[in-house]
Amino acid sequence: MSQYRTQIDPERDLVLERVVPTSRADVFAAWTKPELIIQWFVPKPWTITFAEMDLRPGGASKITMASPEGQEMPNVGCILECIPNERLVFTSALEPGFRPSPTPFFTGVIELEEVEGGTLYRAIAMHKDVEDRQKHEAMGFHTGWGLCLDQLVELMAK
């Protein structure tokens, strides 16, 4: 694990932490390779219709989600930090090239640590205020991100 570990603000941040029986390399690949992202990133029956990741700081994170009814929801963000197999930081507060976003919502941090039994997976959603955290929590952050993590583990076990 890198020396830097995100400090949690319980008022504004949501955290999902779990040990998964998957290698750090596999978890990192699932988060960074579009051909894998489309297979696990949203809870079924939702789907991903497009994924693109440019892992350089300032690079694009583009993922389009589709509801079961076919309504598409594009999400464009910016990569802030990428330490292979350890840490990925991305945000909707910026668009590619560090351009300010008209609709900032959260900054995501994925931290991976090798532990007995697999990988300690820590996903953090950092929000600008309590209201955005509450909105994200009401949208089903813990259930949704937990189901997606289950799908990631299942995919990587194949």
Predicted TM-score (pTM) of this structure = 0.95
Full pLDDT tens readout for the chain, 158 residues: 456 789 999 999 999 999 999 999 999 999 999 999 999 999 999 999 999 999 999 999 999 999 999 999 999 999 999 999 999 999 999 999 999 999 999 999 999 999 999 999 999 999 999 999 999 999 999 999 999 999 999 999 98
Q: Judge whether 82 lies within some domain.
A: yes
Q: Judge whether 2 lies within some domain.
A: no
pLDDT digits (tens, 9 = 90+) for 112-147: 999 999 999 999 999 999 999 999 999 999 999 999
Considering its fold, how many domains does the chain have in total?
Answer: 1
Give the length of the chain. 158
Q: Judge whether 3 lies within some domain.
A: no
Q: Judge whether 26 lies within some domain.
A: yes
What is the residue range of 21's domain? 15-157
Q: Judge whether 50 lies within some domain.
A: yes
* Amino acid found at 15: V
The sheet that has 47-53: what strands, in order across it? 13-20, 118-126, 107-115, 87-91, 72-83, 60-66, 47-53
Q: Judge whether 10 lies within some domain.
A: no
CATH of residue 85's domain is 3.30.530.20
